[in-house]
Amino acid sequence: MKKKDMTVEIYDTTLRDGTQAEDISFSVEDKIRIVRALDELGIHYIEGGWPGSNPKDVEFFKAVKKERLKRATVVAFGSTRRAGKRPSEDSNLKSLLRVGTPCVTIFGKTWKFHVTRALRVSLEENLDMIHDSVRYLKRRVDRVFYDAEHFFDGYRDDPEYALKTLQAARAGGADCIVLCDTNGGTLPFDIAKIVREVKEAIGTPLGIHAHNDSDTAVANSLVAVKEGACHVQGTINGFGERCGNADLCSIIPALKFKMGLDCIPEENIKKLRETSRFLYELANLPHQKHQPYVGDSAFAHKGGVHVSAVLKSPETYEHIRPELVGNTQRVLVSDLSGRSNILYKAQQYGLDLKSDSPVVRKILRELKELEHEGFQYEGAEASFELLIQEALKKREKYFKLHGFRVIDEKREEGRPPYSEATIKLEVGNVVEHTAAEGNGPVNALDKALRKALERFYPSLKEVKLLDFKVRVIGGKKGTAARVRVLVESGDGTDKWGTVGVSENVIEASWQALVESLEYKLYKDKRRKDAKKG
């Protein structure tokens, strides 16, 4: 088979190796939902867990049998038999067969150090354990993968013995022998050399399983494929113990678009970002915005020179088209922005501005001045859109503030403070004066503002505050320093960010909260106008 015609099997171990990461725990229902998502993505093998290690994995394997998967094969994971036991007597091997998966993966020791120190068995006994276990399973299931744990460390220590362990797995009938960089300390040039040598010595198809402790797991996986590995193990988003596993969100597009190899169908790769974000949500972890390929910032451009070039030809600063992995190009606005950034954003908002327009120069000048004061529009594009409307003299004022007062009072040690906000504002010719309590001053102010406005603008009931961030800008002034408040809001259909800056955290919060509600009203009006047009 020619290299360009080779298909690389993608083996996902998010549900087993990925769950060993700090802060990650999936319920059985979570794991079933992940299986469905991985199957939709086109993953070949999904390692479901170790049925011999905990009841949750046993329950998962029972539940997953009810799923009708399009492409993926669910795999059970375990270890070789214990020393001194026949395979038929080993509870671990029996539990692997009991769950009934057509494919099983087992790991064994390849590093003499582990054989003598961890297992405390002879080197010959370890070879028998590998051979007997693979042979026993292969007679009872369709496919058996053998994970050669700590292989690269073992090979550097004693190449002859490390290869003997692989030969024992091959003699037992292993369908694929997976070389594991379990400690994650091997670098790409060593991976390439060792895989090349192993391929010459072992006829069985090879796989790679890399950990990221040296920040080279993706690179190690790719060079292993270049040297002949046809099976790659990893996790979505690189979830895994310590520094994580090889990130399939980087490996899959690299295999397809950089190396020209088949792995999952090209049309499925468009679901990669969606799958990545889905797993972050189930893991209750923040999305990593700087993650290659699928992160929010992966195709984001900020510098004016970059933006100008990208608008003419995306290839100038993008290594692939973001749409291939389900991502999108973004242009950010900041004090580094040039006219190209402004024009790009205006075009997104449906505004036809010319490069030499005085309005563009005005917006750019105001933007740089505001960011110098501490405003930041990269995560507050709603505020920036309202800034453009202001420059165009099209921004509507939906109410006039007469004033507000916030009381934050602690009445007794050990009990939470009491917060109340009173607000007076005018809508049209009607003055509204109201108050609200909250679990903090900003929450109380937010409630009072909504309470005053919702009678006039009912759609504001749809707005939910999704995130609230406060950052001190230049801490030299201590508690007198400026603060920047970033608010993310949503209405069930869209999400948007707004910003406020002040030496007073309540005032900064007020600015961001007001712009959040104003943007909702502006957005609703724009949608109505579009329908009329």
- pLDDT tens, position by position, 291-322: 999 998 898 877 667 767 776 777 788 899 99
392-404 per-position pLDDT tens digit: 788 888 999 999 9
End-to-end, the C-alpha distance of the chain in Å comes to 59
Report pLDDT for 412. Answer: 82
Summarize pLDDT for 329-377 with one digit per residue, the tens. 777 655 445 566 666 666 665 666 666 677 777 777 777 777 677 776 7
* pLDDT (average), residues 101-110: 97
207, exposed or middle or buried, with CB in 10 Å at 0-12, 13-18, 19+?
Answer: buried
Whole-number pLDDT of residue 1: 42
Residues 378, 380, 386, 390: is their CA dihedral positive or negative? negative
DSSP 84-140: T--GGG-HHHHHHHHTT-SEEEEEEE--HHHIIIII---HHHHHHHHHHHHHHHHTT
What sign does the dihedral 63-65-68-69 (CA atoms) show?
A: positive
| pLDDT > 90? residue 63 | yes
For the chain, give every residue range classified as CATH 3.30.160.740: 399-456
Amino acid present at 24:
I
Please state which of the four CATH numbers 3.30.450.80, 3.90.1150.10, 2.60.40.790, 3.30.160.740 is assigned to the domain occupying 399-456: 3.30.160.740
User: Residue 24 is encoded by which pair of tokens?
Assistant: 């990650």
Average pLDDT, the chain: 89
CA distance 85 to 181: 28
3-state secondary structure of 217: helix
52-66, 221-235, 265-279 — most confident range: 221-235
Question: Cα separation of 237 and 223, whole Å?
Answer: 20
The model's pLDDT over 415-448, given as tens digits with 9 standing for 90+, comes to 888 899 999 999 989 999 999 999 889 999 999 9
Q: Please give the model's pTM, rounded to 2 decimal places.
A: 0.71
In this structure, the number of other CB atoms found within 10 A of the CB of residue 388 comes to 22
**What CATH number has the domain spanning 3-264?**
3.20.20.70
State the CATH architecture for 300-391. Answer: Orthogonal Bundle (1.10)
Domain with CATH 3.20.20.70 in the chain: 3-264
Which two tokens mark 239? 């979830």
Q: Where in the chain is the domain with CATH 1.10.238?
A: 300-391
